[in-house]
């Protein structure tokens, strides 16, 4: 990834890390599934009237919405409502990194590089350190639901990558179509019409601000950038950046919600940062290895086909052969012109005699045009064997 795209991925992770605190802050008296429904209703309207539909089949758009939005956040919000703290929720949800890399290896044939694999393992180890340091007070059902959200996110990442849609904004907006109504109906079923009605009638400003943040920044801005990066790079290059979200969530929860940050969490957060740096190190190094490697990565990683890397390499080889072909043609032209060198010298000499240098005051362009016309006529009058008679 380029430095600019790496910084964008870091920005997304920061927005998403703070997102957990915003969800916890706004979801007091609102049922979790209804809260997710409100969030994606705000994502959908009015953006859908201004953002064109992505160039992808409807089933692909719907699959991205079901897995990356409906499934992920339906499980996450429910887990947090059951008592999963924001910092731990951010930690557990990052299991999506491992899910994504494994699923992409089978579905997209995208094998992570050695550095990416090691970096992902190091990041996962950092997450484990943080999780162990928090103790065993995490509700089991909440943990399972959050892991289910991570799995749903991982599947959504792979579907988004396979779609090849370059516009992350269009995919984020149009995939939200499948979220609000199903979750609203599910909330009516699970929570009951009375609870839903009370929540909607008594919606406080905290819930409204939380919904606007999660809709505008986390979904529209965050997923637009994230889906755009997934369309340009391998999943194993993009997804590990999300490992930065748990440290951001934990620091934010400590500062705003009073959640304490112990030594294990601090050490684990540093290990996570190290894993991300290790994961992206090879990509930055590869950018300096020359034009051939850069062109291979650019073409190979941007295709829609699972075998796009092979296609990219083949295209670069074709370009190299074309360069060699042009060099051979240039040499052949030099040989031909060398054989006719006497002819061209004679023609230029005759042209100099007929069209002398331009006198002072005469436009040089007229003299050059006259000389060129005369040389062309002399060359056309040459015999077929090219010899001067």
Which residue pairs from 46-54 have beta carbons closer than 8 angstroms and sit at least 24 positions apart in sequence?
A: 47/173, 47/220, 48/173, 48/174, 48/176, 48/177, 51/169, 51/170, 51/173, 51/174, 52/170, 53/170, 53/174, 54/163, 54/165, 54/167, 54/170, 54/171, 54/174
Instruction: Look at residues 40, 157, 142 and name the one whose alpha carbon lies nearest to residue 84.
Output: 142
Q: What is the pLDDT of residue 294?
A: 39
Structure tokens, 170: 């269009």
- Report whether 88 contacts 131 (CB < 8 A): yes
Contact, 68 vs 40, CB < 8 A?
Answer: no
pLDDT at 148: 94
Residue 53's closest CA among 161, 216, 164, 169? Answer: 169
Q: What is the pLDDT of residue 181?
A: 95
For residue 284, give Cα distances in angstroms to 21, 237, 272, 278, 281. 32, 11, 19, 10, 5
* Other beta carbons less than 10 A from residue 354's beta carbon: 11
**pLDDT score at 324:** 52
pLDDT one digit per residue (tens) for the chain, 389 residues: 788 998 999 999 999 899 999 999 888 889 999 999 999 999 998 889 988 998 889 999 999 999 999 999 999 999 999 988 888 888 888 888 778 888 888 888 878 778 778 887 887 888 788 777 765 666 778 888 998 999 999 999 899 888 877 767 888 899 999 999 999 999 999 999 999 999 999 888 999 999 999 999 988 888 788 878 877 888 778 877 887 888 888 888 888 888 776 777 778 778 887 877 777 665 444 544 433 443 444 444 434 333 333 333 333 344 345 445 555 555 555 554 454 444 445 545 554 555 555 555 555 555 555 555 555 554 455 554 444 44
Give the CA distances from residue 167 to residues 40, 135, 160, 374, in Å, rounded to whole numbers and listed in that order.
18, 42, 11, 57
Supply the DSSP string of 292-360, one letter for each residue.
HHHHHHHHHHH-SSTTHHHHHHHHHHHHHHHHHHHHHHHHHHHHHHHHTHHHHHHHHHHHHHHS-PPPT
Residue 217 C-beta-side C-alpha neighbours within 13 Å: 18
Looking at residue 376, what is its pLDDT?
Answer: 53
What was the pLDDT predicted at 179?
Answer: 95
Cα separation of 133 and 131, whole Å?
5
Both tokens assigned to 234: 């391998």
* pLDDT attached to residue 213: 94
């Amino acid at each position: 990834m380029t430095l600019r795209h790496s910084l964008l991925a870091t920005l997304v992770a920061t927005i998403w890390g703070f997102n957990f605190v915003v969800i916890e802050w706004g979801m007091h008296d609102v049922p979790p599934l209804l809260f997710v429904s409100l969030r994606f209703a705000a994502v959908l309207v009015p953006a859908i009237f201004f953002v064109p539909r992505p160039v992808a089949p409807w089933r692909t758009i719907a699959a991205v919405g079901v897995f990356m939005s409906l499934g992920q956040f339906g499980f996450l919000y429910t887990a947090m409502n059951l008592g999963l703290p924001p910092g731990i929720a951010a930690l557990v949800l990052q299991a999506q990194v491992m899910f994504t890399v494994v699923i992409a290896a089978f579905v997209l044939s995208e094998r992570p590089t050695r550095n990416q694999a090691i970096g992902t393992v190091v990041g996962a180890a950092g997450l484990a350190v943080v999780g162990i340091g928090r103790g065993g007070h995490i509700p089991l059902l909440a943990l399972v639901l959050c892991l289910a959200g991570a799995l749903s996110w991982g599947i959504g990442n792979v579907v988004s990558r396979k779609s090849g849609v370059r516009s992350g904004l269009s995919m984020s907006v149009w995939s939200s179509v499948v979220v609000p109504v199903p979750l609203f109906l599910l909330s009516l079923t699970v929570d009951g019409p009375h609870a839903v009605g009370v929540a909607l009638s008594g919606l406080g400003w905290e819930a409204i601000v939380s919904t606007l943040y999660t809709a505008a920044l986390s979904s529209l801005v965050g997923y637009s950038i994230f889906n755009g990066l997934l369309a340009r790079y391998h999943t194993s290059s993009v997804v590990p950046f999300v490992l930065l979200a748990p440290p951001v969530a934990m620091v934010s929860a400590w500062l705003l919600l009073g959640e304490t940050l112990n030594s294990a969490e601090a050490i684990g957060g540093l290990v996570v940062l190290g894993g991300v740096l290790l994961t992206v190190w090879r990509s930055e190094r590869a950018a300096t290895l020359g034009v051939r490697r850069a062109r291979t990565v650019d073409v190979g990683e941007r295709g829609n086909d699972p075998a796009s890397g092979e296609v990219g390499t083949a295209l670069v080889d074709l370009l190299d052969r074309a360069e060699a072909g042009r060099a051979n043609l240039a040499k052949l032209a030099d040989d031909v012109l060398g054989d006719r060198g006497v002819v061209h010298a004679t023609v230029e000499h005759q042209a100099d005699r007929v069209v002398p240098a331009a006198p002072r005051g005469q436009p040089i362009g007229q003299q050059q045009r006259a000389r060129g016309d005369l040389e062309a006529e002399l060359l056309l009058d040459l015999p077929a064997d090219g010899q001067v008679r």
